[in-house]
Structure 1
């Protein structure tokens, strides 16, 4: 799926109706029954300060998954509702949990289950969004999913210091790019036009 595939309208502002419609569309792409998914919301601004820190670094959950009353429940941070591309990536990650944990394909205690969840978003058609959300130059605090890696400086990630950066998700840009390259190989795509719209790190690894 790409921004041009109609997942969200140009006037998307993150109303509950728009968000639930977006969840339904991403469900269809990823092979999840939309009728089995319940959407809930939370505001990470309400979390206690201690909950936002781990090992001296800030962390902020922006998505959560669990099961209740026989349904998959994904919880989305209201603070991300106005950023449709990032919100789409968060939804894709949580629906990855639905496919993997909800279908008993993996166990939640598996060491790499969060990285595998990022990876499955690629092979279920949502890798463009999750790869682009993985690494952003921004002054806002960002996290991703149940236990985000938190704030990392660009020097820590790349050895340079051009400005503040944040890492979203559990795979690096390079790992997302490699996964997308494998995805393209499976699809017989050698130079997909959408690759030009990827963020530089993922695009370089894809090529």
Structure 2
């Protein structure tokens, strides 16, 4: 039926079998939790002024305006959130506190810095969310970090699970149409004074983001949708491989049960 995807190489899943099954089952769980209509009807947010008419100058105003857009998209009441910034370099928080979204500063470094922190409701009944202040001048990273921390509200704060699952939290923005940002933020090359390295934010890997977004498009019955042009080249490559596999294996996708652990 889909001659475009008839190449035999498309029969090879870019993910290992356990991860594929986990992701498909996790996606269906999220669809059950937040509703099929959420996935089908919400617009896909893209990194353009149309969706984010904000001047990213590192100001608190840029943070609040971005948070308002993400909160609306994810059905989060921003009045229930105490949103603050912090400087990760001064180590203001202990590693055991809250739930942290990590960023790796270089592929050759074991050091991980916190891009965002989520805490449950404080004594005033608000969720404490802290965003590392350097993110305020990096729009894509800021959106991804806010989406991840707001996903903690949707999963933990709304009592959908009683334990923290960072991989599921990473996946949650996809069903709300924000996956472009989290995927792109997961792997970005940069050139430093001593060569090339990469920044990465979050827990899912590059290939996993490609598959997650391909699942999202497939669920919405969108083949090669216009919004994929905003994906970073490496993510787009994995998206296309994943899309090819999904259409070649429609008898398997969203059908098989994941039997692994959490």
Q: Is the pair's TM-score, using the shorter chain for normalization, greater than 0.5?
A: yes
Q: Alpha-carbon deviation of 1:7?
A: 4.3
In structure 2, the partner of 1:98 is 153
Count of residues paired in the alignment: 179
Structure 1 unmatched ranges of 5 or more: 141-161
Higher alpha-carbon Rg? 2
Q: Are 1:178 and 1:206, in contact at CA under 8 Å, matched by a contact in 2?
A: yes
Q: What are the Cα deviations for residues 118-177 of structure 1, in whole angstroms up to 9, with x where unaligned?
A: 10111111100000000011258xxxxxxxxxxxxxxxxxxxxx8212321100111111
Q: Secondary structure at the match of 2:82?
A: strand
Q: Secondary structure at the match of 1:195?
A: helix
Q: Which has the higher contact order (CA 8 A, sep 6+)?
A: 2
CA distance in 2, matches of 1:7, 1:77: 23
Instruction: Find 1:193's aligned residue among 202, 226, 246.
Output: 226
Quick one: structure 1 residues 198 and 204, their matched pair in 2 at CA, closer, same or farther if it must change by over 3 Å? same
Q: Are 2:118 and 2:130, in contact at CA under 8 Å, matched by a contact in 1?
A: yes
CA distance in 1, matches of 2:215, 2:198: 27
Q: Secondary structure at the match of 2:229?
A: helix
Q: Are 1:7 and 1:22, in contact at CA under 8 Å, matched by a contact in 2?
A: no
Structure 2 unmatched ranges of 5 or more: 1-44, 96-101, 103-108, 241-262
| Structure-to-structure mapping, 1:1-40, within 5 angstroms | 1-4=45-48, 6-9=50-53, 11-40=55-84
TM-score by length of 2: 0.63
CA distance in 2, matches of 1:125, 1:117: 14
CA distance in 2, matches of 1:189, 1:5: 24
CA distance in 2, matches of 1:191, 1:86: 24
In structure 1, the partner of 2:117 is 64
TM-score by length of 1: 0.79
Quick one: structure 1 residues 35 and 175, their matched pair in 2 at CA, closer, same or farther if it must change by over 3 Å? same
In structure 2, the partner of 1:150 is none
In structure 2, the partner of 1:82 is 137
CA distance in 2, matches of 1:21, 1:165: 28
Q: Are 2:55 and 2:62, in contact at CA under 8 Å, matched by a contact in 1?
A: no
